[in-house]
């Protein structure tokens, strides 16, 4: 049986935002572009993460879920149910910022991240930001006696070993696409210079530091007593739960079906897979 949903992305992106195969997720196929052709042809909803393409396949009607701010020329006209039936299935663009988006959201969070084992080292911090800033951040954290690594983009491997993720935001830039991943994995999220977004509540599910030193003080406190952050970690996971990939993808399938029904009055409305809590 072909899956009604196909999620196409690189392996790194799928590790943070995808679904495992098999029951109870057999309604969604997740894989890399090279293996996707047959699945996207059979799927009712195709979602791509990042700028991937499937060779030989048109992206008409697909949901393109991009990272960052989308330039106006890239964000296509959204499904305009207000203006009547259209002959063309619109491309739907989701991103964290940009004009003309279909939806504005961070990437979904892989269901598996909610079950990620705690880090072995209690205080390791992965610093994410532009290259020079994150490297400088690592040096400053090490001066505080905190073990740290730098990265420009979050990966599962980095998340596995980290107790905290420190985001060095650039003023004016939107929240990163991976925003919810550390929270799902019960890692403490420290944001410097970032505005709350997408339902995050500073001080409840993450920390918004006004300076690097403030973030470093919190990282030191985390290394000294990780359990003092239990409440924040628990609320972080609760916030990330809204972005669980299985919930988000089944919700998108419902959305697309509802829009198609509105655009094409004769179209039926098969029920989308209803999200079931993980056992």
Partner 1 sequence: MRVCFLVPGLSPSGGTATVLGHVRRLREARHFEPELVVTRPGAEQDAPGDLPVRTLAQAAREPYDVAVATWWQTAAALYEVPATRRCLFMQSAEHRFYADHELFERQGAAAVLGLPIDFITVAPWMSDLLSELRPEARCHVVPNGIDKAVFAPRERTAHQGPLRVLVEGQPSLWFKGVEDAVRAVRRMRLPHELTVACLDPHEAAGVDADRIVGALDQEGMAALYAETDVLVKLARVEGLGLGPLEALHMGVPCVVTPYTGHEEYLVHGENGLITGFDDVEGTAQRLDLLARDPDLRARLSAGALATAARWPDGGDATQAMVRALSAVATDVPPDESGLALLHRTAALSSTLGRVRLNAADGALTRIDELEQALRECQYAYGALSARLDEIQASKGYRALATGRRLVARVRP
Interface of this chain with partner 1, residues 128 to 157, rule: CB under 8 A: none
Site string for partner 1, 96-135 (x = CB under 8 A): -----xxxxx------------------------------
- Closer to partner 1 by CB, 39 or 191: give it: 191
Residue 266 CB-density burial (10 A; 0-12 exposed, 13-18 middle, 19+ buried):
exposed
- Closer to partner 1 by CB, 66 or 150: give it: 66
- In DSSP terms, 165 is beta-bridged to 126, 189
Q: Would you count residue 203 as binding partner 1 (CB under 8 A)?
A: yes
Q: Would you count residue 82 as binding partner 1 (CB under 8 A)?
A: yes
- In DSSP terms, 128 is beta-bridged to 151, 167
User: How far is 262 from 69, CA to CA, in rounded Å?
Assistant: 29
Contact between 75 and 104 under an 8 Å Cβ cutoff? The reply is no
Residues making up the chain, counted from first to last: 279
Which listed residue (170, 201, 264, 278) binds partner 1 by CB under 8 A? 201
- Closer to partner 1 by CB, 136 or 202: give it: 202
- Closer to partner 1 by CB, 29 or 102: give it: 102
- Closer to partner 1 by CB, 37 or 262: give it: 262
User: How far is 202 from 175, CA to CA, in rounded Å?
Assistant: 14
Q: Which two tokens stand for residue 255?
A: 């959305």
* In the complex, least distance from residue 261 CB atom to partner 1, rounded to whole angstroms: 7
Interface of this chain with partner 1, residues 210 to 269, rule: CB under 8 A: 210-211, 213-214, 217-218, 221, 225, 227-232, 234-235, 238, 242, 251, 254-255, 257-259, 261-262, 269
Interface of this chain with partner 1, residues 22 to 41, rule: CB under 8 A: none
In 3D, which of 228, 222, 11, 241 has the Cα closest to residue 119?
222
Binding residue count for partner 1, defined by CB under 8 A: 50
* In the complex, least distance from residue 191 CB atom to partner 1, rounded to whole angstroms: 12
Residue 72 CB-density burial (10 A; 0-12 exposed, 13-18 middle, 19+ buried):
exposed
Contact between 15 and 155 under an 8 Å Cβ cutoff? The reply is yes
CB atoms within 10 A of CB 278: 12
Cα pseudo-dihedral 259, 276, 104, 194, rounded to 10:
170
- Closer to partner 1 by CB, 58 or 211: give it: 211
* In the complex, least distance from residue 258 CB atom to partner 1, rounded to whole angstroms: 6
* In the complex, least distance from residue 131 CB atom to partner 1, rounded to whole angstroms: 27
Q: Would you put residue 266 in left (φ > 0), alpha (ψ -120 to 50) or beta?
A: alpha
Radius of gyration for the alpha carbons in the chain, expressed in angstroms and rounded: 20
* In the complex, least distance from residue 97 CB atom to partner 1, rounded to whole angstroms: 10
Contact residues for partner 1 (CB under 8 A)?
A: 78-83, 101-105, 197-199, 201-204, 208-211, 213-214, 217-218, 221, 225, 227-232, 234-235, 238, 242, 251, 254-255, 257-259, 261-262, 269, 271-272, 274
């Amino acid at each position: 049986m072909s899956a009604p949903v196909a999620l196409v992305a690189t392996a790194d992106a799928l590790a943070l935002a995808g679904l495992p195969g098999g029951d109870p997720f057999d309604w969604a196929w997740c894989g890399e572009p090279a293996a996707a052709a047959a699945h996207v042809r059979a799927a009712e909803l195709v979602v791509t993460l990042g700028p991937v393409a499937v060779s030989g396949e048109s992206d008409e009607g697909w949901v393109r879920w991009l990272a960052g701010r989308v330039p106006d020329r890239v964000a296509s006209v959204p499904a305009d149910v207000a203006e009547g039936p259209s002959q063309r299935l619109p491309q739907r663009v989701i991103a964290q910022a940009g004009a003309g988006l279909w939806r504005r959201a961070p990437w979904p969070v892989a269901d598996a991240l909610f079950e990620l084992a705690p880090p072995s080292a209690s205080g390791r911090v992965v610093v994410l930001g532009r290259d020079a800033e994150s490297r400088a951040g690592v040096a400053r954290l090490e001066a505080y006696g905190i073990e740290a690594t730098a990265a420009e983009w979050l990966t599962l491997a980095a998340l596995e070993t980290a107790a905290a993720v420190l985001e060095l935001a650039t003023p004016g830039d939107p929240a990163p696409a991976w925003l919810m991943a550390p929270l799902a994995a019960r890692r403490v999220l420290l944001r410097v210079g970032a505005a709350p977004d997408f339902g995050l509540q500073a001080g409840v599910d993450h920390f918004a530091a006004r300076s690097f030193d403030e973030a470093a003080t919190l990282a030191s406190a985390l290394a000294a007593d990780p359990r003092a952050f239990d409440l924040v970690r628990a609320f972080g996971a609760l916030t990330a739960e809204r972005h669980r990939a299985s919930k988000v993808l089944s919700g998108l399938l419902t959305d697309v079906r509802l829009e198609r029904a509105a655009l094409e009055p004769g179209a039926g409305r098969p029920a989308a897979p209803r999200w079931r809590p993980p056992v």
